[in-house]
Structure 1
């Protein structure tokens, strides 16, 4: 079964590579060369600046696809970051801030389920696929504007179309980018019956349970065990984090095996994420200590 899955993935990558090659050839021949190819130094500067400017817009469009679809499906807003612009939820308030985390400059959007409803899986599947669809539509819009306007404005939109198309192809490869799965891969995991689907559903239930109660104690330990036993390091790390917080909230004591595994996996994770998780764990430690101290007074 695994060999069959790998063969299928290799075939998809090969088909995608062919599609990308011919798409770029067609764009170069019928749009770039004939209409908007920069010839003067001034036009080349416009193209370079336009590329930087349009890259952030394109990343924003992709993340907005995820974000707006999540909000339309009843999920709660959590985070939206593109370049230096950051918008996040802090309690019941929405805060705009200057993003200094270079790891988020490529764009991040997050919405979370407000309960453990069974329909969350279908909703999340829509959210996942909405980003690539938004990128594809925006690339077509950019190429159309480039064709209609010509130089110099058309050059800017042409770069936007290329970047947006590149993001579409990158997020539809059924694989991983770093420690995370691509949008397409997560969509496959969520909609294909089996262990991977169970893991994705468990993660949604965990997030929904916490968001609803603002507490870890009502999260089902069976769901956490499913995540902790997964092959993907990030999934195990996320499961261990929630298990630690759950045990701290319930009795202030964490099983040593969970702490050891958490600390080992933390070395493979992104530092900002580890710092955020560690801060939450420390908060629950202090919270339990206060309760303990008050009982002895």
Structure 2
């Protein structure tokens, strides 16, 4: 079977980005060493085992700097009064679920770290610009701290070299993230910051997604969102996110034909979705496939959602699992249990407006189960 052209293109882009990163990091280091005429003889004190140890420590240090970047966003978000949703460091995840913080281990799907927060009701774009700077500032500060501490370490020790490399990587990460470009179809922190300062339409478009999330968290149902399709074709992550919200809006209004059109557009552009956001899209593709009777497609997306769906105890995950149990597994009792559990979790879901829509779907399912039971 021929490989999907979209996947082939994605692999080429990833390979190209890998070479680009090597170029961006390697060339400046080489130029600096040449200009400063640095004597590399100091490396002679290290044995092969020392280099292996330094590499391992540096790898750990890079992982640390990535997540210190996300911690910077978290701290700035808390100072601004943003609502916490999720913090991920590699395979480790802390998220707010059913009103409580839950720790879990998940599959890493292409990111080193992730921080997700919702602006408060009175948040402004300028505050969001400050939030965007949080990760950069944290990287520059911690990078400087690593370099400062390295000055007090024993010369020639593996810890000193690892601290120097980690400090340099942290500062480099902060600087690179400050440049305006797109990464995984999302603007970098620097792009968001400078776009907001310039009152750029791009910043307004991407900030709109945050505002929609804020409205859902404040209790506005998807059907009551002020949404209009302002794009012909899905061009970037903003358009994709908006199409996804439009799907929810049409579903909440009972317009499933219109909802399907938006969802099909979303499905065609899944390659533009950052890996960490994919499960939410899989949920809805799975759910709609169940409603449409496309059970083969439902199986595909159930497998893609995988363990994340299995462990999900929020109302949206329980809704998808309840319908899967009822339609795919033909297990009405299991579906009833999952639906009732979902309803019990309604008030703990951070997106209160979406929870009302989820509640309605679960009640519809329970009514079907009850009608079926009485007809037997």
CA distance in 2 between partners of 1:95 and 1:46 (Å): 34
CA contact (8 A) 1:190 1:201 kept: no
Name the structure 1 match of 2:54. 47
Name the structure 2 match of 1:151. 156
1:14-66 deviations in Å (ceiling 9; x for gaps)? xxx79x83797269959995877752234323311211221121112111011
Counterparts of residues 97-176 of structure 1 (less than 5 Å)? 97-104=104-111, 106-115=112-121, 117=122, 119-149=123-153, 150-152=155-157, 153-176=159-182
Name the structure 2 match of 1:3. none
- TM-score, normalised to structure 2, is 0.63
Q: 1:51 to 1:143 in 2, by over 3 A?
A: same
How far has the Cα of 1:134 moved from its partner? 1.1
1:133-156 deviations in Å (ceiling 9; x for gaps)? 111111111111112213322112
Among 256, 261, 282, the alignment partner of 1:253 is 256
CA distance in 1 between partners of 2:275 and 2:46 (Å): 44
* Gapped regions of structure 2 (runs ≥ 5): 1-23, 288-315, 324-357, 372-376
How far has the Cα of 1:192 moved from its partner? 2.1
Name the structure 2 match of 1:71. 78
CA contact (8 A) 1:63 1:131 kept: yes
RMSD between aligned residues? 3.3
Among 247, 268, 273, the alignment partner of 1:269 is 273
- TM-score, normalised to structure 1, is 0.78
Q: 1:88 to 1:189 in 2, by over 3 A?
A: same
Larger radius of gyration: 2
Counterparts of residues 1-297 of structure 1 (less than 5 Å)? 21=28, 25=32, 33=40, 38-104=45-111, 106-115=112-121, 117=122, 119-149=123-153, 150-152=155-157, 153-213=159-219, 215-222=221-228, 225-226=229-230, 228=231, 232-251=235-254, 253-255=256-258, 256-270=260-274, 273-280=277-284, 282=287, 287=358, 288=360, 291-292=363-364, 294=367
* Gapped regions of structure 1 (runs ≥ 5): 1-16
Which segment drifts farther, 67-76 or 231-240?
231-240
How far has the Cα of 1:270 moved from its partner? 4.5
CA distance in 2 between partners of 1:176 and 1:93 (Å): 33
Aligned length: 274
